[in-house]
Each structure stands twice: as structure tokens, then as C-alpha cells.
Amino acid sequence: MEKFAEKLSFLFRPLLSFRAKFPLLSFILTRLLTMLVILFFLGWALFALMALAPGDIVDQMMTQQIMSQASGTGGADRSNTKGLDEKQTAALRAEMGLDQPFTVQYFKWLKRVVVNHDLGVSLISRAPVSFLIRSRILNSVVLNLISLVFITIFSFLLGVCFSSKAGTKTDLAATFFALFFHAFPGILLLILFQLFASATSLFPVTAYPDFPFSEAQGRFVFSYAHHVFLPLLASFLGGVGGTMRTIRSTMLDQMGLPYIMAIRARGISEGRVYLAHAFRNTLNPYITGSANLLAGLFSGSLVLEIIFSYPGIGRLMYEAVLQQDVNLVLANSMFISSLVLAGMVISDILLAVVDPRIRYGKE
């Protein structure tokens, strides 16, 4: 037993030595490896869920074909149609590889992605999946980044402001409205905004201009801002409440700590106490939760894109799930999950940068 332990420690000695010399790099590599493992099992689980769903894309295609044939012929011979249906269904499943177990399908897809860097083609439109994602992902990223920037700026401004007025009527009113909009159903808020846009005609009922960016860049920017104002306002109201309360509570906790009283006793101005000392320590919980906030924005943008007809990745995912387009669903899910996991890794690195007390690998 002791010899086995010695051999095991000998094998792991280079890893431990590397971790001791490069603690932060070792931490980043570990998180990246963990991210790859999570993505692997996530893809397998998605294939399993799609396999458990009743029917598949071939059933939908054949049903639509039979309905069109029946409507065109006024009710043809059902027995011949059924036999033709079964033969075509088997041929299509074999052509798309859907007749194999989902684990085999997943490993074939994984091999094609890793080795050939090919995400495959959509089973419905027959267009390359990479092209469909590229045409939509930029719209979703821009929308969510704008929302994240506004939520971050106003959350810090309002959180710091109301923490200095704790217990006042202004603070109580702000807390009430923050809780109200945080608890208000986001889908209902989006529907109400769309009804407002339809009734007043002040804003478009869709969230994207009806002409491309290449046609007129300047006019597109103003038109885009006009179209996305209401969806962004709904996203802002739903996200700023919880983040603002987190910043406010963290600031209040910091202001009651002994080091703040020591700084005040040295005669430092109250503004500097707030901004230069207490404010910096409020970054820690926000950076930790920023990855979850980004994930929530991406998941919430699914409903936004459907209601306001925004051509983003969420709407593409919704259409792919309805049509059971396995290649498109898996590529979308893996791409969004990669963004969220990468955001978590980046938040951990930023946390080590902004907080000098955190030193990975040091005692």
C-alpha cells in the first residue's frame, strides 16, 4: 500500500510542482478543463432528451407530405400512402443517422465537430448550422451586452446612492419598486410593452429594423435604438432590481466594518470613504454573480426574441426545438453554454484581479 502511494505521488508530483509555481495559470487551466467536461456531458444529455421526445423530425416531414398529398388528390388510397410512408421514413432516418442510438449519434457529431470543425447542416433548411448561428448570434450578443452594461451602471449608481440614504422614505420607495419589478413576470411585462407600442404607435411592435445595416449604417443605428427601446427597458427593469439591492446591502455591510470607522477617524472625506474604499469591495459579489446575470439575460432573451420577433439565437433555438432539428438545437445549446461557462471563468479571474486578498495557491 505504501509503495502504491509513493508511485501515485510520483505521478502527480509534476502537476503539484506546476501548480505551486504557476497558481493562477493552473487555476485557469483547471477551470477550462472542467468547462470542457461539463460541455461533453451537456451535449450527451441534450441528445438523450431529444431522443426521449415523442416522434422526430422525420415524422413531422412525412406527416406534412401526406397531408399535402391528401389535400391535392382529394383523399388517395390510404393503404398505399401508409406503405410509401413507412419506406420513406426508414430511408430518411437512415440517411440522417436517426436510426442509430443517441449515444452513437452524439459521438459521431462530436467527432465531426472536433476533427472537421463542422457543425453539420440543418435537417429542415439544409443550410450549414455555422451559417445560421453566425447570422443570429451577433444580434443576441449585442442586445444582451447593451442590457448588461445598463444594468451594471445603474445598479452601482443606485445601490451606492440609496445605501447612503438607508432607512429614509426615498430608500424605502426604491426598495419597493426594485422588489416589485424583480418579482414581476418578465413575459407579462414584455406583452404589456408590446400592447403599449401597438396602442400608441410610439414604438414599433418588432425589435429589429426592416432594412439591413449595410444599406444605411447611420439610419440603422437610430432605427435599431428605436426598435429595441421597449425590450431593453423590460430587460433592464427585471434585472436592475436584484442587482441594485445586492450592491446596496453590500455597501451597508462594508460601511459597518471596523476598517471604515478607522478610515473615518483619520479625517478622510465621506465621498472618498464610499468610492475609494467601500465601493471597491462591492465588486466582489457582483463579479461573482455577473456570470449568472449574463446567463439569465441569454435565457430571458428567448422570450423577448419570440414576442418582439427579434432575429436572435434564442428565437432560432425555439424554432429548432419545435421542428426537432437535432443538429441546430445541439449547436445552439453548446454555443450558449460555452459563452456562459467562459463568463464564469472570466469572472473568477477578474475577482482575483480586483481583490488583492485573493491569491490562488498562496497561504
Residue-wise pLDDT tens for the chain (363 aa)?
555 555 556 555 666 676 667 666 777 787 778 888 888 888 888 778 777 766 666 666 666 666 666 665 555 454 444 544 566 667 766 666 666 777 887 888 888 887 877 777 776 777 888 888 887 888 888 888 888 888 888 888 888 888 878 778 888 888 888 888 888 888 888 899 999 998 988 888 888 888 877 788 888 889 989 999 998 898 888 888 888 888 888 888 887 788 888 888 888 877 787 777 777 777 777 776 666 666 666 666 778 888 888 888 888 888 787 777 777 877 877 777 777 777 777 777 777 666 656 554 444
In this structure, the number of other CB atoms found within 10 A of the CB of residue 22 comes to 14
pLDDT at 273: 79
Residue 271 covered by a domain: yes
Question: Which amino acid type is present at position 351?
Answer: L
Residue 118 covered by a domain: no
Which structural domain range is residue 248 located in? 129-354
Question: Contact, 310 vs 210, CB < 8 A?
Answer: no
pLDDT at 3: 59
pTM of the complete model beyond 0.75: no
The secondary structure of the chain, three-state, reads CHHHHHHHHHHHHHHHHHHHHCHHHHHHHHHHHHHHHHHHHHHHHHHHHHHHCCCCHHHHHHHHHHHHHHHHHCCCCHHHHHHHHHHHHHHHHHHHCCCCCHHHHHHHHHHHHHHHCCCCECCCCCCEHHHHHHHHHHHHHHHHHHHHHHHHHHHHHHHHHHHCCCCCHHHHHHHHHHHHHHHCCHHHHHHHHHHHHHHHCCCCCCCCCCCCCCCCHHHHHHHHHHHHHHHHHHHHHHHHHHHHHHHHHHHHHHHCCHHHHHHHHCCCCHHHHHHHHHHHHCHHHHHHHHHHHHHHHHHHHHHHHHHCCCCCHHHHHHHHHHHCCHHHHHHHHHHHHHHHHHHHHHHHHHHHHHCCCCCCCCC
pLDDT at 79: 47
- How many domains does the chain contain in total? 1
In this structure, the number of other CB atoms found within 10 A of the CB of residue 350 comes to 15
Residue 49 covered by a domain: no
Q: Is 239 exposed, middle or buried (0-12, 13-18, 19+ CB in 10 A)?
A: buried
pLDDT at 229: 92
Residue 51 covered by a domain: no
Rounded-to-integer distance, Cα 35 and Cα 287, Å: 19
Residue 337 covered by a domain: yes
Rounded-to-integer distance, Cα 272 and Cα 337, Å: 40
Residue 8 covered by a domain: no
Question: Contact, 99 vs 93, CB < 8 A?
Answer: yes
pLDDT at 83: 47
Dihedral through CA 136, CA 139, CA 141, CA 143, nearest 10? Answer: -150
Region of residue 121 (left: phi > 0; alpha: psi -120 to 50; beta: else): beta
In this structure, the number of other CB atoms found within 10 A of the CB of residue 266 comes to 7
* CATH number, position 168: 1.10.3720.10
Question: Which amino acid type is present at position 259?
Answer: Y
